[in-house]
A and B are shown apart, each in its own frame.
Chain A
Amino acid sequence: MTNLISLLSGIIFSVGLVISGMINPAKVKGFLDIFGNWDFALVFVMGGAVIFNVFAYFFIFKGKPFLESQFFLPTKIHVDKKLVIGTAIFGIGWGLTGICPGPGIVNLVNLNLNSVLFVGSMIVGMLIFRKAH
């Protein structure tokens, strides 16, 4: 059941990424280009998801998860140097191509070399981090 729900969640997430336009690198770059020819439409992706969750969380955090005895939430609470530097680095990478991890993975279905190259490099980046820490 746990695995089935997770699969379903992944599918819905993916459909959301596709129809929202988040998988389109040019669209995302247009969204980040606020000093140029700004395409504001993607504000509604993050906006829609966040506002949905603000309301959903009222219900979700009443009681335990349906299939587990507890929530597995991030244990770090305080802002640290790693958070600031890491998110800054991620943003630069995101801005270069307009692709973040989710859309990068979904883009693999296009079966083009650039999508594979991106995910392959992302994996290497993650493994470098793992080696370094």
Chain B
Amino acid sequence: MEVIMMPLLGGILIGLASAILLKFLGRIAGISGIFESTLSKFKVENAWRYLFILGLIIGGVIMKLAAPSFFDYSFEASPVKIIIAGLLVGYGTRLGGGCTSGHGVCGIPRFSTRSILGTIIFMLTGILTVYIEGLIS
């Protein structure tokens, strides 16, 4: 049961966080878009974006201190693979206008055709990538 409860509780918190941002600031919690905007020269109207990203880090630090067992995993992959993955994620999310948060968490509940299709596509190519990698290794 716990196998399901933690993902569900985490998912609800993610939904809650995005709902708070939307109801208070009128903004979509699309992390790739918010993060990309922080890569420019600082502007006052962008302050909320920096603080959202800072919040992600602070939340991680709080959890790492309060419940370190959630971080009991390793991130093992060759540097080349990580670099390629990072480049594709960075470029692809900007070309496609969103990632798991913007298209998935925020777009699907608005019944946005773009977000529903986008989510289906990145799920499919993600599944295909893992499948092909399984065949090769």
Residues of A bordering B, CB below 8 Å: 2-27, 29, 32-36, 41-54, 56-57, 59-60, 64-68, 70-74, 76-79, 82-97, 99-102, 104-110, 112, 114-115, 117-130
A93/B85 in contact, CB under 8 A: yes
**Chain B 1-17 against A: per-residue CB contact (8 Å), 1 yes, 0 no?**
00110111111111111
> Would you call the interface of chain B mostly helix, strand, loop, or mixed?
helix
* CA gap between A67 and B25 in the complex, in Å: 6
Chain A residues within an 8 Å CB radius of B104: 46, 49-50
Q: Say yes or no: A76 contacts B97, CB within 8 Å.
A: yes
Instruction: Tell me which residues across on chain B come within 8 A of A21, comparing CB atoms.
Output: 6-7, 10
Secondary structure at the A interface, as helix, strand, loop or mixed, is helix
Q: A13-B18, A83-B117 are in contact. Are A110 and B71 (CB under 8 A)?
A: yes
B: which residues have CB within 8 A of A? 3-4, 6-29, 31-32, 35-36, 39, 47-49, 51-64, 67, 70-71, 73-77, 79, 81-101, 103-110, 112-114, 117-119, 121-131, 133-134
Question: What residues on A are CB-neighbors of B83 within 8 Å?
Answer: 117, 121
